[in-house]
Structure 1
């Protein structure tokens, strides 16, 4: 009887030694935390979705989709896995339900995946374009176009004749005096002798 009891006790201890280490090893890595969290209501714009797992994960095989209420994927780049965390950059999200679908590989080589949803209540930023100023451009362009033509009208005369504008003014003044003198002379000769 004692032999049977001792054998049963040894068998029981042996089972405990074999099964106990296997229990933690068989526990698979799982999603521990998400930002934004499942069922959360987001009120400020976000630039990334972050997933934290209970164990180490691998970059190879890691995929994330961030699907807006319109059915489009709002990721702006590949998801990056580092240690226990995946970060997926996103563009501004539309209002409404957003679904996050993820897939990765745990350190023990098992593929794990899942999805969850949150609600986006943050208005996407409105794209702003600088106001056009059509009145400023035309006022500058015509004046620039007129000035060269005015300069072209004056400069060729002096450059082609080789005479400065001061000399031209002096010649015009001399011609004016000569013409006035001739007119005066003609008038003086035609006046009646008194």
Structure 2
């Protein structure tokens, strides 16, 4: 032992160094856990988004297409081919509605028969069910410049409903057209949160086992001559 050195000084320093190393490894493990949880949470918010639209947002339409349509980045969730939860509304400058309430969902695309009134600024309001089960709705503006000889539709004062062929019943399709991605699927979110919790628990157990897996070497605590 070095003259003047108090007994146990060097072993105490070595223990602090080992504790610091274990703390660094613990922080690194927790950082990895945080990244894993964030990676699990990301898919829960991966709603469909629009990649193409007819008419396009803020465009000027000079010829009436056969249908109005929006196409998203992924398939749409149309359970039983009922079009339930889907809507496509066209609101004219006078506040009248120029759709018939019916939509057609095919893969990533939702469409509706096109009809417009007099020239002016219109608003398209839409609502879809994403592939992840979440409801997404939004709206955008476009301008209509009717060609010569065009006969404008009269529109309706209230949003129409689509008559189901064969029985005369109606299927309402409601949407505010003012928000995007505000409705969440609580079931799918709960599954992702639960999975993240399991990862956290497993990581904490792994860290505790790492800290306790073996005692420090006896040589570290021995006094040096």
How would you bin the TM-score normalised by the shorter chain? 0.5 to 0.7
Of 92, 97, 100, the residue aligned with 1:68 is 92
Are the aligned partners of 1:45 and 1:93 in contact in 2 as well (CA < 8 Å)?
no
* In structure 2, distance between residues paired with 1:27 and 1:107: 9
Counterpart in 1 of 2:50? 31
What is the TM-score normalised by the length of structure 2? 0.50
User: In the TM superposition, what whole-angstrom CA distance separates every residue of 1:142-185 from its partner, at most 9, and x where no partner exists?
Assistant: xxxxxxxxxxxxxxxxxxxxxxxxxxxxxxxxxxxxxxxxxxxx
Indicate the structure (1 or 2) with the bigger Cα radius of gyration: 1
Counterpart in 1 of 2:121? 97
Are the aligned partners of 2:71 and 2:109 in contact in 1 as well (CA < 8 Å)?
yes
Gaps in structure 1 of 5+ consecutive residues: 128-194
- What secondary structure, in the 3-state scheme, does the structure 1 residue paired with 2:84 have? strand
Are the aligned partners of 1:77 and 1:90 in contact in 2 as well (CA < 8 Å)?
no
Runs of 4+ in 1 over 3 A off after TM superposition: none
Are the aligned partners of 2:51 and 2:73 in contact in 1 as well (CA < 8 Å)?
yes
Are the aligned partners of 1:47 and 1:92 in contact in 2 as well (CA < 8 Å)?
no
Are the aligned partners of 1:51 and 1:85 in contact in 2 as well (CA < 8 Å)?
yes
Aligned length: 127
Are the aligned partners of 1:46 and 1:92 in contact in 2 as well (CA < 8 Å)?
no
What is the TM-score normalised by the length of structure 1? 0.58
Of 102, 114, 135, the residue aligned with 1:111 is 135
Over aligned residue pairs, what C-alpha RMSD do you find?
2.2
Could you say which structure has the higher helix fraction? 1
Could you say which structure has the higher strand fraction? 1
